Amino acid sequence: MLEVRCGEAEACRLRALGLCEGASVSVLDTPRHCTLLDVRGSRLALGSAISAAITVLPLQR
């Protein structure tokens, strides 16, 4: 994950959940208006507004 572009309160909460710059995350699913992520072995569902504020870079396999 490269960057989180949202309000400070939202960014602080995401960092507390393990979503911080440099973290490796996997997109598990994108049903309707949310994104389901795997973050350090835990599943995390984010709404579309917060998901849009996160910049990621795909990893080379």
Where exactly are the structural domains of the chain?
A: 3-55
| pLDDT for 44 | 94
Predicted pLDDT at 34: 93
**Cα–Cα distance between 28 and 45 in angstroms, integer?**
10
pLDDT tens profile 1-60: 788 899 999 999 999 999 988 889 999 999 888 999 999 999 999 999 999 999 888 887
pLDDT reported for residue 27: 92
CA dist., res. 60 & res. 45, Å (int) = 24
Compute the distance between CA of residue 52 and CA of residue 46 in angstroms, rounded to an integer.
10
Contacts of 57 (CB under 8 A, 6+ apart): 1, 2
Second-level CATH architecture of 3-55: Roll (2.30)
Q: At residue 61, does pLDDT exceed 80?
A: no
22: DSSP letter: T
Per-residue model confidence (pLDDT) at position 3: 87
